C-alpha cells in the first residue's frame, strides 16, 4: 500500500518518524489533521488525547463506544471526552477496525498475563510523554489501539487477532478543538499485535488553509 501525499492545499506542520518502542506527543490545533502511518505493517499504536486548555477533559472510551454503538474505531468515529465533548474525528482510515477495549500493555500486566518481567511498555511510554505536558500517571485512561484488532466472540472471549496489515496503512484524525495527542509505538513482544517485531511509524500533522482559528 502506498500512503498518499498530503493534499497540495494543505500545509505540513510536522512530519516525523517515531522509532520502534518509543512514545510521541504533540499539541494539535483545532482543524489540523494528525495522520499516523504504519510504515512496515502490523504495528500497534496506543493513543490518547486531551483538551489542551483543560487536560482533565480527556478521551473517554466509554462515551466513544456508547454514543456510536460500536466497539471499534473507524472512519467517521468521533472521539469523545469524559463530559461528552468532541476531541477528534477519524476522517480517513485504511483499516476500518481499531481496538477500544484492550487498553495498553504495562510491566504489571506483562507479568500477570505472560509471567515475564519487563522494563518497557506502553504504560511507561505514556508516563514519559505525558510528563512533558505536566501530566502524571493519573492522566492514563483506557486508550485506543490503532492498527490492532480485538474480536469479541459470542461467548464473551476476546484476544489479539493475528491480522497482517499492509505497510503504509494509516489513519487520519481531525482535531475538533486544540488537543494534546500522545501515543506509544507499542514495544509488546509477547502477543501478535506487533508481529513480534516492533517497527517505526510516521506521525504527520497537516494544516489546511482556513483552519488557523
- The single residue listed with the C-alpha cell 467517521 is 76
Quick: pLDDT tens for 126-151. 999 999 999 999 999 999 999 998 87
Query: Does 113 map to a domain?
Result: yes
Q: Residue 23: its pLDDT value, please? A: 98
Instruction: For residue 67, give the H/E element and its range.
Output: helix 61-68
Helical (H) or strand (E) element with 47 = strand 45-51
Domain membership of residue 213 (yes or no) is no
The 8-class DSSP code of residue 14 comes to E
What pLDDT is attached to residue 16? 96
DSSP summary character for residue 166: P
The DSSP code sequence of 79-101 is EEBTTS-EEEEEEEESS--EESS
Which residues make beta-bridge pairs with 185? 45
Sign of CA dihedral 148, 145, 31, 82: positive
Which domain range does residue 100 map to?
20-207
pLDDT digits (tens, 9 = 90+) for 36-73: 999 999 899 999 999 999 999 999 999 999 999 999 99
State the chain's mean pLDDT as an integer: 91
CA distance linking residue 13 with residue 27, whole number of Å: 11
* pLDDT at 159 (0 to 100): 74
Q: Helix 107-114 and helix 122-131: axis angle, to 10°?
A: 180
Task: Give the pLDDT confidence of 98-108 residue by residue, as tens digits.
Answer: 999 989 999 99
Instruction: State the residue for C-alpha cell 464473551.
Output: 156
Q: How many domains, in total, are found in the chain?
A: 1
In a domain, 88, yes or no: yes
- Kindly state the helix (H) or strand (E) to which residue 13 belongs, with its residue range: strand 11-18
Q: Does a structural domain hold residue 138?
A: yes
Report if residue 11 sits inside a domain.
no
Q: Determine, yes or no, domain membership for 13.
A: no
Instruction: Assess if residue 65 is contained within a domain.
Output: yes
A 10 A CB-CB count for 84 gives 11
Residue 2 within any structural domain of the chain: no
pLDDT band at 4 (very low <50, low <70, confident <90, very high): low
Cβ atoms within 10 Å, residue 145: 26
Tell me, what DSSP letter sits at residue 58? E
Q: How many helices (H) and strands (E) does the chain have?
A: 3, 13
Amino acid at each position: 500500500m502506498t500512503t498518499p501525499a498530503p493534499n497540495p492545499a494543505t500545509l505540513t506542520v510536522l512530519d516525523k518518524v517515531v522509532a520502534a518502542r518509543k512514545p510521541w506527543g504533540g499539541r494539535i490545533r483545532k482543524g489540523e489533521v494528525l495522520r499516523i502511518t504504519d510504515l512496515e505493517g502490523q504495528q500497534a499504536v496506543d493513543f490518547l488525547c486531551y483538551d489542551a486548555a483543560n487536560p482533565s477533559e480527556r478521551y473517554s472510551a466509554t462515551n466513544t463506544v456508547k454514543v456510536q454503538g460500536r466497539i471499534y474505531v473507524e472512519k467517521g468515529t468521533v472521539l469523545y471526552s469524559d463530559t461528552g465533548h468532541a476531541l477528534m474525528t477519524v476522517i480517513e482510515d485504511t483499516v476500518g477496525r481499531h481496538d477500544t477495549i484492550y487498553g495498553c500493555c504495562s510491566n504489571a500486566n506483562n507479568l500477570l498475563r505472560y509471567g515475564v518481567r519487563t522494563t518497557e511498555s506502553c504504560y511507561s511510554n505514556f508516563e514519559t510523554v505525558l510528563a512533558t505536558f505536566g501530566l502524571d500517571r493519573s492522566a492514563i485512561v483506557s486508550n485506543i489501539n490503532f492498527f490492532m484488532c480485538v474480536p469479541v466472540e459470542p461467548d464473551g472471549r476476546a484476544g489479539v487477532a493475528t491480522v497482517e496489515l499492509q505497510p503504509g496503512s494509516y489513519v487520519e484524525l481531525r482535531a475538533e478543538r486544540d488537543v494534546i495527542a500522545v501515543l506509544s509505538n507499542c514495544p509488546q513482544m509477547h502477543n501478535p499485535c506487533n508481529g513480534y517485531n516492533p517497527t517505526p511509524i510516521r506521525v504527520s500533522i497537516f494544516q489546511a488553509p482556513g483552519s488557523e482559528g
